[in-house]
Amino acid sequence: MTTTAEQLIRDIEDMKIKGAYLITRVTLEALTLRAKAAADQGTSIQEALTAAADRLQAAQPSMASVANACAYVLHPLRQPESLSLSPEQIHQLVVERSQDFLTANDQAQQRVVEVGARVIHDDDVVSIHSYTGTLLGIFRRAREEGKRFSVIATESRPYCEGRVMVAELLKLGIPCTLIIDAAIGSYVGRANKGLVGSDSILSNGSVVNKIGTQMLALACHVYGVPLYAAGSILKLSVTSLRGGVVKMLERPDDAGIAPVDVPDRQGLRVENRIFDVTPGHYFEALITDQGVLPPAAIAGFRDHPMLCPAS
């Protein structure tokens, strides 16, 4: 079956694709396919791409790399000189810009994995939260280097991505303890460090990640466990650099947390927020493609060549 841009966008909207790194790759593929379809149909590529980018960013408003990928691809199409380009030239430009961002994203991801693996040592007990391809890559690299360590992982409700993470870690031969989210305070004291991913890094060094990350950070603070967040500079939020507020994704499906035995839900409000913000001062450091950095240093990368304004 041929994959279409619409199918990929719906997969992202339906949360069938997990992890900011993979979602960013699929975002770029969707933009490329949408440009090709518009060129073939003789419709406006700029309008088609703008509409696709709006849907992708609305589906994952908390993931800066999605916004950054869309902004980078669309940036030249918002310039006056693009009006003189043919549909074929515009499509080729989209392909080239998508590949440029994809290459930069891949290289940055590899570097984060290399840097992060150095933070893992023999006999470490690492407390983690949720599924993230970045952490999985770090742990895989650390195991390949012969390091022996174990992980304490939360279920990461409401969608329990932590169970998926544990399944992948066990395949790598990494011993795991799986706990419910509410047990974080009882178990974090058994760890000697905490490690989470990041869906966005804000200009003040705060980190947007799966809901419950803030709770892990508070527990680590109480027990004196150093907490690290891993993510490339391409996850730096341009919105936050411009003084804006990053929206936290909320899902309408509340079956995982709403009481099922209440026939009359009048007076009940269910909030199913998927991400939260953890202040930068709770992190020992940020593990990035530019090295292990203090959270306050992140704003210094505002002029990164891959970070384009959205408009």
Q: Catalytic residue at 253?
A: no
Q: Which of 199, 276, 289, 303 is catalytic?
A: 199
What is each CA distance from 36 to 50, 68, 80, 272, in whole angstroms? 14, 21, 21, 36
Question: How far is 212 from 257, CA to CA, in rounded Å?
Answer: 14
Name every residue whose Cβ is closer than 8 Å to that of residue 10 and which is 6 or more positions away in sequence: none
87 preceded by cis ω (within 30°)? no
Question: How far is 93 from 91, CA to CA, in rounded Å?
Answer: 5
> Of the candidates 283, 291, 132, which has an alpha carbon nearest to the alpha carbon of residue 204?
283
> Of the candidates 280, 276, 277, 300, which has an alpha carbon nearest to the alpha carbon of residue 290?
300
Q: How far apart are the first and last CA of the chain?
A: 35
Active-site residue list: 199
